[in-house]
Amino acid sequence: MPILDTRDITKQFGGLIAVNQISMTVNKNEIVGIIGPNGAGKTSFINALTGIYKPSSGQVHFKGKEITGLPAYKIAKHGISRTFQNLRVFSNISVLENVMIGAHCRIDNPFHHIFLRPFRSKRIEHQAYEKVIVLLKNVGLEEKKESLAKNLSYGEQRILEICRALASDPELLILDEPCAGMNSAEMDTLADFVKKLRDEGQTIVVIEHNMRFMMAVSDRIIVMTEGAKFREGTPAEIRNDLEVQKVYLGEQEVE
Amino acid sequence: MLTGFFESKQGKWLLLGGLTVCLLLVPKFVTDIYILSILNMMIIYSILCMGLNLILGFTGLLSLGHAAFFGIGAYTTAILMTRYGFGFLSAFFASAVLAMLAGIVIALPTRKVRGDYFCLITLAFGEIFRLVATAWIEFTRGAMGIVRIPMPKIFGIPIVTETHFYYLGLGILIFTYLTLKAITDTRYGRAFIAIREDELAADTMGINTSLYKIMAFSIGCLFAGMAGSFLAVYQTVVTPSNFRLEESCLMIIMVIVGGMGRNLLAPLAGVVVLTVATEVFRSTAEYRMLIIGLIMILVLLLRPQGIFGSSSFKS
């Protein structure tokens, strides 16, 4: 059974149909790539999945449960975690606190316990801290745990954002243009990292423009244009599809 | 090396312990009633500003009506003690709870309105409170205020002199600090900061931002209620003029000058600077606000993060 199953997701803004009846599935332990030209509705689709927008129609099922239209924080608790196209780390606080916030919904520390069971509360917080440290070590940010997020390099901030998303133990990780603004060396490191996550059992959906990156990491690619699903296939199939090339490179046939 | 020690965990607690002992010993050396009364006002503002820092510094909500919650606490204690024969402790408790409930009601619209609009709601609430306190003469005695608030007794010990009030206030202040410290050291404190930094991202991290905003706001108001209750028994009089917009602004200035955010004690530096400035320039009457404004501009130019702030967060 697929871990994520969307049926005819549509998102309208007034007269504009940003996402038009998209159905897709994501299986466990798979990297699904979503590509498409600017304005194809990729990010809108992801926003409708993660509760930032409410879909106008259609359903989202996650692990067999319907999560359509739930608020974002509840969807995060269900186990979908994401990053953003335009980098949204918490800039003025430390790297450590950023990732601790990512773990927020997995820290089982009810408010009254702070006062009524202070030792349990402290222990739970400390356990979360130790888990976060391990995570930071894995991505090589442990030494910078006390630096403010805004003082990190751009590539490191991208990694930090992924790390923050991973801190919530997501069953599905969604990366929205993770390579934006990266140089090719950083991009290769990121590709290796994403593949490593998949090998460790993580399920991932990636939106990205960069074809080299997408061909390298994706197990399956979905092409979107004008809000609708256009093609779906393996990276090789997509690469050799003339229609896709036309959509991607524009109508530039020689007469 | 010394600073390294004071940044370690034990060092910090030692420093705080030392500070507490010094504060406890103050009345042994300071007997001047005037100075003690200034210290007591500083304590009241410190409690208010610590609470406001949770709202403004942590969660990033600008509240222009903090004085109203301060006023709710003060009027609750004044009315319960003068008319219904409440003891101080029960009135104190009721004041805190009532201020918190008012805080919850005012913070409810944060679910729908954000930023500037929320600020306007708090501004309006502050004005409504002051107008009601002035105009509802049967209940609040209007501009005359409620007078002859009885002397508080705590477990049979009467609180009479400035020194007594100093210790009572210091007790409330320490309680405020420890409570806020306990809360902000957990995922709750981090969630508040996440909301200040990026509400949408906080939401996708599994933080119920509406709920946490209401929580932060109402906890801040709870302490304003406590400060109000203390003010009522300390002054023995409460009038609407104690709770004007100017008071709310002064609190905000104190928090900003001292330093917003993680460091819970930073706003106290603002309290000290501005209270001293207010007293020193008391003779200049209306020009006082001018001088306070000048102090704020200077601090913001020289140290944008506030005197003890760790980082300025509006880039």
DSSP state letters, A197-255: HHHTT-EEEEE-S-HHHHHHH-SEEEEEETTEEEEEE-HHHHHT-HHHHHHHH-S----
CATH of domain A1-79+170-255: 3.40.50.300
> Containing domain of residue B190, as a range?
31-243
What confidence score (pLDDT) does residue B115 get? 78
Domain membership of residue B216 (yes or no) is: yes
CB-CB neighbors (< 8 A) of A157 in chain B: none
From B188, B193, B206, residue closest to A168, measured CB to CB: B206
Residue B2 has a pLDDT of 52
Q: Where are the alpha helices (DSSP H) in A19-173?
A: 42-49, 72-78, 95-102, 113-116, 118-139, 154-166
The CA distances from residue B195 to A146, A173, A234, B81, B304, in Å, are: 20, 22, 40, 39, 21
pLDDT in tens, chain B (315 residues): 455 566 677 778 888 888 888 888 887 787 788 888 999 999 999 999 999 999 999 998 999 999 999 999 999 999 999 889 888 899 999 999 999 999 999 999 877 777 788 899 999 999 999 999 888 888 888 878 888 888 888 887 888 888 889 999 999 999 999 999 999 999 999 999 999 999 999 999 999 999 999 999 999 999 999 999 999 999 999 999 889 888 898 899 899 888 888 888 889 989 998 888 888 887 776 777 788 888 888 888 888 788 887 655 543
Q: What strands, in cross-sheet order, belong to the sheet with A31-35?
A: A80-82, A172-176, A203-207, A31-35, A220-225, A228-233
Which of A90, A129, A146 is best to mutate for the B interface (most B CBs within 10 A)? A90
Pairwise CA distance, residues B181 & A165, whole Å: 27
Q: For residue B198, which residues of chain A lie inside 8 Å, CB to CB?
A: 88, 90
Residues of B with CB under 8 A from a CB of A: 179, 182-183, 185-188, 190-191, 193-194, 197-198, 200-209, 215, 311-313, 315
- Residue B217 and residue B170: Cα distance in Å, rounded? 23
**Structure tokens belonging to residue B261:** 């955010």
Q: How far is CA A218 from each of CA A181, A195, A205, A209, A238, rounded to the nearest angstrom? A: 20, 9, 9, 13, 11
How far apart (Å, rounded) are the C-alpha atoms in residues B49 and B273?
A: 13
Q: Cβ B204–A148 below 8 Å, yes or no?
A: no
Nearest residue of B to residue A123, measured between CA atoms: B186
Contacts of B259 in chain A (CB under 8 A): none
Q: Which residue has the tokens 């009633």?
A: B33
Predicted confidence at residue B25, as pLDDT, reads 81
pLDDT at residue number B79? 92
- B245-B302-B13 Cα angle (round to 5): 80
Domain boundaries in chain A?
Answer: 1-79+170-255, 89-168
As a whole number of angstroms, the distance between CA B97 and CA B77 comes to 11
For residue B45, the distance in angstroms to the closest alpha carbon of chain A comes to 25
Strands A57-62 and A4-13: antiparallel
Burial label for B126, CB within 10 Å (0-12, 13-18, 19+), is buried
Question: Considering only CA atoms, which of B195, B13, B173 is closest in space to residue B115?
Answer: B195
* Pick among A83, A101, A147, A172 to test the B interface (most B CBs inside 10 A): A101
3-state secondary structure of A63: coil
B293 within a domain of the structure (yes/no):
no
Chain A contact set for B194 (CB, 8 A): 90, 101, 104
Pairing of strands A220-225, A31-35: parallel
- pLDDT value of position B313: 53
Smallest Cα–Cα separation from A128: which of A165, A156, A170, A96?
A96
B263 phi and psi, to 5 degrees? -75, 105
Which residues of chain A, if any, have pLDDT below 70?
249-255
Q: What is the structure's pLDDT at B4?
A: 59
What is the nearest CA distance from A104 to chain B, expressed in angstroms? 6
**Confidence (pLDDT) at B152:** 85
Question: According to the model, what pLDDT value does residue B5 have?
Answer: 62
* Residue B299 in domain: no
Identify any residues that bridge with A75 across adjacent strands, giving them in sequence order.
Answer: none
Packing angle of the helix pair B33-53, B66-83 (nearest 10 deg):
120
Please give the ipTM for the structure prediction: 0.89
The pLDDT of residue B19: 86
Can you give the pLDDT at residue B1? 45
- B193/A90 CB distance under 8 A: yes
A62 φ, ψ to 5°?
A: -130, 125
Closest C-alpha among B94, B64, B41 to residue B225: B94
pLDDT of the residue at B302: 84
Residues in B touching A72 (Cβ below 8 Å): 200, 203-204
**CA atoms of B137 and B135, how far apart (whole Å):** 5
Question: Exposed/middle/buried for B270, CB within 10 Å: 0-12, 13-18, 19+?
Answer: buried
Query: What total of structural domains would you count in chain B?
Result: 1
Chain A residues with CB under 8 Å of B209 CB are: 73
Q: Label residue B30 exposed, middle or buried (CB < 10 Å: 0-12, 13-18, 19+).
A: middle
pLDDT at position A255 is 43
C-beta of residue B224 within 8 angstroms of C-beta of residue B51: yes
- Distance from C-alpha of A12 to C-alpha of A41, rounded to nearest angstrom: 11
Closest CB to B205 among A101, A128, A150: A101
